[in-house]
């Protein structure tokens, strides 16, 4: 597991760059900045690196915080290219989920499996819905076209490919389906991955949906050792190149002097802060990988930024949060023949009704569930539970309002909650509900639970400090997608951004891309084009060993 780095942090100019937050975006930015000769200090309030891309261990069982499956890990893929640019492509070992069906969409009356390959998916859909072949072809052409258009932006391809993005800049997935005349069940199957981005078909950007679908259709993978292995590889690179990572060290504020960011002030009362770490770490560049709304209002201070830009950030709507049940079963699902695939459990064809309820601060009786089976994805990891057991997560969207959880303000405002009886009852009731509903994907699951732990949006807000306790960042509607999201450069000189709140949006690959974009903005070097072309910014001989 990760720990604080030893070494000096001192003087009035302590680093070339300070990164606030050791999430996967901040770590990627730090690694590329170190690779280009900038000395970085990464500061994070948590005890391990990675943020959502980390693991935790309770009662001897290891669980992944937020790594469920990752696209772009095959040759030429986004994640493979970013790691390859640092010479880390051999450090992280990927296991592919079942290419014949990595996502299973479990409806009450039928199950549909999504395979690797857009053409295979097209053929499979046509087999299930033969009367809708024309609409299926048009949908698949749209997914392929969006991928080509994005490649044109990132890889310097023909700019005429951008026409599709411009044409559908304001298109929702629901309106795309309407135009194609798709049946309710086909719409539900094509939109069944909605928990990956946390917006219903009526509101989600059609382009965002196409990017997500295409991302996984190129192959779905899981890192050996869980998400922590990926974060540790990047953190090890930063340390090996002379950078520092200060954990258990909350940032009080980003220092602004003379109209520019000049470093960070650390929380002086932090009981775990390493001895010898000063109250301030100064640098001419600060990259914030923290929650963007909190970066603006709490770390920088709105008075230091243009009023129109502040208003824009204030007005951005957050995506919904998740309730997560971490389970260990006294069953070996692999031995029972369960496929190495995620399961999406849907109550019916009307997904938007669930999002309408969330908007009212309510929860439908049978919410969509997402099941991720760590033991099937990483069978050699004995820390997950051992022989004869299965480690998995069950997730559902829930309202973010603290009142739904029996609270008034939430943990970021200092409110204690763990012994709150209303909070505990809500949490236990939801655990019972999702475990029962998960039995539709794994019959008999409820009777075989050996261990159960849960996490709520309140938990997430406490540990990650994300506004509303969400892992999704800003809601991915057309008015908050693509170039309508903030990029890595801010109006405050010296301050740059990375993470789920930026242009690339949430998800492991996207947040890694945000870190690369931040490093590119700081250095002015064409890092993204270099690595996407298969080039290296750092040679593998200089990377750390296992």
Q: Domain check: are 464 and 369 in the same one?
A: yes
What's the CA gap between 313 and 292, in Å, rounded?
8
CA quadruple 218, 219, 220, 226: dihedral, nearest 10? -120
Has residue 105 been placed in a domain?
Answer: no
Which pTM value belongs to this model? 0.94
Has residue 414 been placed in a domain?
Answer: yes
- The mean pLDDT value of the chain amounts to 92
Q: Domain check: are 211 and 331 in the same one?
A: no
Has residue 70 been placed in a domain?
Answer: yes
Continuous H helices in 85-172: 118-128, 133-155, 163-167
CATH number for the domain harbouring residue 47: 3.50.50.60
Has residue 166 been placed in a domain?
Answer: yes
Whether residue 504 contacts residue 514, with contact meaning beta carbons closer than 8 Å, is answered with yes
pLDDT of residue 156: 63
Has residue 519 been placed in a domain?
Answer: yes
Q: Which domain holds residue 363?
A: 320-469
Domain boundary among 217, 242, 263: 217
CA quadruple 398, 400, 406, 411: dihedral, nearest 10? 130
Q: Domain check: are 306 and 245 in the same one?
A: yes
For CA atoms 50, 53, 59, 60, give the dihedral sign.
Answer: negative
- Cα 445 to chain centroid distance, Å, stands at 27
Q: Domain check: are 148 and 231 in the same one?
A: no
Q: Domain check: are 288 and 420 in the same one?
A: no
Q: Domain check: are 342 and 423 in the same one?
A: yes
Q: Domain check: are 310 and 423 in the same one?
A: no
Q: Dump pLDDT digits (tens) for 196-243.
A: 999 999 999 999 999 999 999 999 999 999 999 999 999 999 999 999
Has residue 4 been placed in a domain?
Answer: no
Domain boundary among 163, 183, 217: 217
Q: Domain check: are 139 and 171 in the same one?
A: yes
Per-residue pLDDT of the chain (546 residues; tens, 9 = 90+): 333 333 445 444 489 999 999 999 999 999 999 999 999 999 999 999 999 999 999 999 999 999 999 999 999 999 999 999 999 998 999 999 999 999 999 999 999 999 999 999 999 999 999 999 999 999 999 999 999 998 877 766 666 777 888 899 999 999 999 999 999 999 999 999 999 999 999 999 999 999 999 999 999 999 999 999 999 999 999 999 999 999 999 999 999 999 999 999 998 876 777 777 888 999 999 999 999 999 999 999 999 999 999 999 999 999 999 999 999 999 999 999 999 999 999 999 999 999 999 999 999 999 999 999 999 999 999 999 999 999 999 999 999 888 898 888 877 778 788 888 898 999 999 999 999 999 999 999 999 999 999 999 988 888 888 888 898 999 999 999 998 999 999 999 999 999 999 999 999 999 999 999 999 999 999 999 999 999 999 875 444 444
């Amino acid at each position: 597991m990760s720990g604080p780095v030893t070494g000096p942090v001192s003087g009035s100019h302590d680093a070339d760059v300070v990164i606030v937050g050791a999430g996967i975006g901040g770590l990627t930015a730090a690694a590329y900045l170190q690779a280009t000769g900038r000395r970085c200090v990464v500061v994070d309030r948590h005890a391990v690196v990675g943020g959502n891309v980390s693991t935790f261990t309770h009662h001897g069982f290891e669980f992944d915080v937020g790594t469920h499956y990752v696209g772009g890990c095959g040759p030429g893929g986004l994640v493979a290219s970013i790691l390859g640019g640092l010479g880390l492509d051999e450090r992280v070992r990927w296991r592919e989920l079942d290419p014949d069906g990595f996502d299973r969409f479990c409806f009450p009356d039928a199950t549909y499996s999504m395979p690797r390959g857009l053409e295979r998916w097209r053929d499979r859909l046509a087999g299930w819905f033969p009367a809708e072949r024309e609409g299926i072809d048009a949908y698949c052409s749209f997914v392929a076209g969006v991928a080509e258009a994005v490649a044109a932006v990132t890889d310097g391809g023909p700019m005429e490919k951008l026409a599709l993005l411009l044409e559908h800049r304001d298109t929702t997935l629901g309106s795309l389906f309407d135009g194609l005349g798709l049946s309710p069940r086909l719409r539900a199957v094509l939109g069944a991955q909605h928990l990956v981005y946390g917006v219903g078909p009526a509101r989600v950007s059609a382009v965002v949906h196409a990017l997500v679908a295409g991302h996984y259709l190129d192959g779905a993978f899981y890192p050996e050792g869980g998400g922590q292995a990926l974060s540790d590889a990047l953190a090890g690179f930063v340390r090996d190149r002379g950078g520092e990572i200060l954990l258990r060290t909350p940032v009080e504020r980003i220092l602004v002097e003379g109209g520019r960011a000049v470093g960070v002030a650390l929380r002086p009362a932090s009981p775990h802060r390493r001895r010898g770490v000063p109250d301030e770490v100064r640098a001419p560049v600060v990259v914030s990988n923290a929650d963007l709304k909190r970066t603006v209002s709490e770390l920088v201070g709105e008075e230091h930024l243009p009023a129109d830009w502040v208003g824009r950030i204030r007005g951005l709507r957050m995506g919904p949060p998740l309730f997560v049940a971490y389970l260990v079963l006294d069953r070996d699902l692999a031995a029972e023949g369960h496929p190495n695939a995620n399961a999406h459990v849907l109550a019916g064809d009307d997904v938007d009704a669930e999002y309408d309820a969330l908007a009212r601060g309510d929860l439908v009786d049978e919410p969509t569930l997402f099941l991720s089976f760590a033991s099937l994805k990483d069978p050699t990891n004995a820390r997950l539970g051992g022989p004869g057991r299965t480690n998995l997560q069950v997730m559902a969207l829930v309202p973010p309002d603290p009142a739904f959880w029996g609270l008034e303000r939430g943990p970021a405002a200092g409110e204690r909650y763990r012994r709150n009886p209303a909070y505990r009852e809500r949490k236990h009731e939801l655990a019972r509900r999702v475990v029962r509903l998960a039995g539709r994907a794994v019959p008999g699951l409820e009777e075989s639970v050996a261990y159960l732990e849960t996490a709520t949006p309140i938990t997430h807000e406490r540990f990650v400090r994300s506004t509303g306790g969400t892992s999704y960042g800003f809601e991915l509607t057309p008015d908050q997608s693509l170039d309508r999201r903030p990029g890595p450069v801010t109006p405050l000189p010296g301050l740059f951004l990375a993470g789920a709140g930026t242009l690339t949006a949430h998800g492991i690959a996207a947040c890694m891309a945000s870190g690369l974009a931040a490093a590119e903005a700081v250095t002015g070097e064409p890092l993204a084009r270099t690595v996407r072309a298969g080039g290296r910014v750092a040679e593998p001989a200089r990377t750390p060993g296992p």
